[in-house]
């Protein structure tokens, strides 16, 4: 590939289309300017490219270079006179994203593998159907008919295993006669990723009734999961069937230098690229108005989950329903009455674009975000796990540790970085507030770097990573990611008030009592070798009570020593709880009311 000097990338969201211009300067890729405009997928425009042209027009103005020709088309490749760009890329979630139903033989095995494949490809899963899910066949048929998914993924059986259940599943699909959500008269895309022995019988049943695509088995053996062929097929069919139905996408497809990618799929790509390039374990969360997406790479294994009912505006009352007034109220540094809290959240749901009017409202909104992120993370842990149904040979030590097959892959002690994204985190009035919300929601262990996405350009960088991983990683690290600072968090219990952890670096020693937080100012790019001594049976990564020598790094907030214990427990008495929260807010330099 010829050297890329200028890259234009857009993300067509459900409400806003965002454009960024990246250029190679002094041997490295950097963000130059950013523009945005309302998305125009609905009436009166009914053409997504109108919003794209408006956003790119803003980039043109700010960068003072010509990118659009006289017909308002993006000039690619760049011309000798300096106009245009070398490549143009785009992602999109306009039109409600990709809604899928997945079906498998065994709910805990093949159906769960299908779920992981679909989520990793950027889908929102609206139902999981399995032979053993406890529902009658007529209930499953009715459910498929009612939901009208964009696509169905079928899996089940190891290669050479049972065929009967897969044939029954195909017959059930025919009985349901599902119609796609978009595109009148089109056949519903169905991906078959099950036992290869059942391919022909399944083809005979489904071939003329649906748009069938056969790919390699998701679980060729009990010990192995093969998700990539199914994910690629989902992405391909999404572009052909779902994207093409949205107004203007055909035109946009002709403009781009590489295929349009769904926004969540693109965010997942950049998280994978960063984990791979930096050789680290990463956890990322994007909290929006309607959904919260959680992405992770642990030990090279990528997972993504969508909590489609947890958000900060449209879905805020679902957070209330799941967490309850007590769950949300426990994070506010003042007492709130249940009725007042419920009314505040209902007002936010019916007026989703409003912002907090006073500090008290802001603290309530941030309390909701803690619960939304915590619940989404719990959901993620249930899916990001090793394969079920596999017999493993275990040592006596592992048996004593009680590590079970199918255990979660999420290992907070070995996690290197947590990235937060979404309005409530990226646009928090002070960066320390974003760090505090992430601390309470994810409760990191040992030493972890906290960071936020500055202006939510992860989707554009994700689609760029597919053609130029190095450029994407450089811009992600230098312009997208704002490092907040390292967190040092001992795991375990200790006597309240007694010294729990001693941290020494740069000629200074900091002692922190159990149950307390301490913020140490340390700027961006400042790194020091630190000696961390946990008291008693507390563990910071070297084992219970063992000293650890590690590098800590500063950031926009500094270094936070969190000795509140893991798991974090708040006092039960409302008076004591408020006192404790006031103490923690003060330690981080935050006002409460």
Confidence of residue 183 (pLDDT cuts 50, 70, 90): low
Beta bridge partners of 101: 127, 152
The pLDDT assigned to 521 comes to: 94
Is residue 145's pLDDT more than 80? yes
The pLDDT tens digits for 98-130 are 788 999 888 888 888 888 888 877 778 889 999
The pLDDT assigned to 321 comes to: 92
Q: Residue 293: how many CB atoms within 10 A of its CB?
A: 26
Angle at 383 between CA 377 and CA 388, to 5 degrees: 145
DSSP annotation of 414 reads G
| CA–CA gap between residue 237 and residue 141 (Å, rounded) | 23
* Burial 376-413, CB ≥16 within 10 A → b, else e: bbebbbebbbbbbeeeeeeeeeeeeeeeeeeeebbebe
The pLDDT assigned to 584 comes to: 96
Confidence of residue 95 (pLDDT cuts 50, 70, 90): low
Return the CATH superfamily for domain 6-93.
Answer: ATPase, nucleotide binding domain (3.30.420.40)
- Residue 392's nearest CA partner among 405, 380, 403, 379 is 405
Helical H runs in 384-511? 396-401, 423-426, 431-442, 458-465, 469-475
| CA–CA gap between residue 17 and residue 287 (Å, rounded) | 18
Interstrand relation of 28-38 and 16-25 (parallel, antiparallel or unpaired): antiparallel
Is residue 149's pLDDT more than 60? yes
| CA–CA gap between residue 277 and residue 159 (Å, rounded) | 34
The pLDDT tens digits for 315-351 are 889 899 999 999 999 999 999 999 999 999 999 888 8
DSSP reduced 3-state for 456: coil
**What's the CA dihedral at 148, 150, 156, 159 to 10 degrees?**
150
User: Residues 346, 379, 366, 428: is their CA dihedral positive or negative?
Assistant: negative
Domain 98-245 has CATH 3.40.50.1100: no
Q: Which two tokens stand for residue 512?
A: 């922190």
Confidence of residue 182 (pLDDT cuts 50, 70, 90): low
The pLDDT tens digits for 404-441 are 446 788 999 999 999 999 889 988 999 999 999 999 99
Query: Across the chain, what does the average pLDDT equal?
Result: 88
- Residue 190's nearest CA partner among 128, 101, 314 is 101
| CA–CA gap between residue 142 and residue 219 (Å, rounded) | 28
Burial status of residue 63 (CB atoms within 10 A of its CB: 0-12, 13-18, 19 or more): middle
The pLDDT assigned to 385 comes to: 80
Confidence of residue 96 (pLDDT cuts 50, 70, 90): low
**Stretch 271-297: mean pLDDT:** 90
State what percent of residues in the chain have pLDDT above 70: 94
**443 or 307, greater pLDDT:** 443
Q: 78 near 5, Cβ under 8 Å? A: yes
Confidence of residue 397 (pLDDT cuts 50, 70, 90): very low
DSSP reduced 3-state for 351: coil
The pLDDT assigned to 388 comes to: 63
Confidence of residue 396 (pLDDT cuts 50, 70, 90): very low
Instruction: For the chain, give percent helix, strand, coil, nearest 5.
Output: 35, 25, 40
DSSP string spanning 125-140? EEEEEETTSS--HHHH
Is residue 477's pLDDT more than 50? yes
């Amino acid at each position: 590939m010829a050297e890329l000097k200028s890259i234009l990338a857009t993300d067509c969201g459900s409400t806003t289309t965002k454009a960024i211009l990246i250029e190679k300067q002094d041997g490295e890729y950097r963000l130059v300017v950013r523009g945005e405009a309302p998305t125009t997928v609905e009436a009166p425009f009914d053409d997504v490219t109108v919003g794209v042209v408006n956003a790119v027009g803003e980039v043109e103005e700010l960068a003072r270079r010509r990118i659009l020709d006289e017909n308002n088309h993006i000039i690619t490749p760049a011309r000798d006179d300096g106009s245009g760009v070398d490549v143009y890329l785009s992602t999109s979630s306009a039109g409600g994203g990709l809604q899928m139903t997945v079906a498998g033989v065994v709910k805990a095995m093949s159906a769960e593998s299908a779920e992981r494949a679909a989520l990793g490809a950027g889908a929102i899963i609206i139902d999981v159907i399995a032979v053993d899910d406890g529902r009658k066949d007529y209930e499953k048929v009715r459910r498929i008919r009612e939901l009208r998914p964009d696509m169905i993924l079928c899996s089940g059986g190891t290669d050479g295993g049972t065929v009967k259940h897969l044939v029954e599943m195909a017959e059930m699909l025919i009985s349901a006669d599902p119609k796609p959500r978009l595109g009148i008269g089109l056949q519903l895309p169905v991906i078959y990723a099950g036992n290869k022995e059942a391919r022909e019988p399944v083809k005979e049943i489904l071939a003329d009734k649906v748009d069938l695509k056969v790919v390699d088995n998701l679980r060729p053996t009990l010990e192995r999961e093969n998700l990539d062929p199914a994910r690629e097929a989902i992405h391909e069919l999404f572009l052909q069937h779902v994207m093409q139905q949205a107004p203007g996408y055909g035109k946009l497809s002709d403009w781009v230098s590489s295929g349009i990618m769904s926004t969540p799929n693109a965010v997942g790509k950049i998280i994978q690229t960063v984990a791979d390039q930096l050789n680290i374990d990463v956890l990322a969360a994007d909290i929006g108005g309607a959904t919260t997406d959680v992405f992770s790479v642990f030990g090279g294994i990528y997972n993504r989950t969508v909590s489609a009912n947890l958000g900060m505006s449209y879905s805020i009352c679902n957070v209330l329903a799941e967490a309850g007034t007590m769950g949300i109220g426990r994070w506010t540094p003042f007492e709130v009455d249940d009725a007042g809290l419920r009314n505040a959240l209902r007002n936010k749901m019916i007026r989703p674009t409003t912002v907090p009017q006073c500090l008290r409202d802001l603290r309530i909104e941030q309390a909701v975000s803690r619960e939304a992120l915590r619940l989404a993370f719990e959901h993620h842990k249930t899916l990001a796990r090793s394969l079920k149904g596999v017999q493993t040979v275990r040592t006596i030590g592992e048996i004593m540790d009680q590590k079970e097959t199918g255990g979660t892959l999420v290992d907070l002690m070995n996690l290197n970085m947590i990235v937060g994204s979404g309005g409530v985190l990226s646009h928090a009035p002070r960066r320390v507030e974003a760090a505090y919300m992430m601390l309470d929601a994810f409760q990191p262990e040992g030493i972890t770097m906290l960071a936020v996405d500055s202006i939510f350009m992860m989707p554009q960088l994700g689609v760029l990573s597919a053609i130029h991983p190095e450029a994407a990683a450089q811009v992600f690290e230098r312009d997208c990611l704002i490092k907040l600072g390292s967190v040092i968090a001992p795991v375990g219990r200790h006597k309240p008030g007694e010294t729990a952890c001693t941290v020494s670096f740069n000629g200074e020693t900091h002692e922190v009592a159990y149950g307390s937080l301490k913020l140490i100012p340390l700027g961006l790019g400042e790194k020091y070798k630190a000696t961390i001594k946990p008291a008693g049976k507390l563990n910071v990564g070297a084992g219970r009570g063992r000293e650890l020598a590690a590098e800590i790094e500063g950031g926009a907030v500094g270094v936070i020593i969190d000795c509140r214990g893991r798991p974090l427990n708040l006092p039960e008495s409302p008076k004591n709880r408020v006192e404790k929260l006031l103490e923690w807010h003060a330690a981080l330099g935050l006002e409460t009311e």
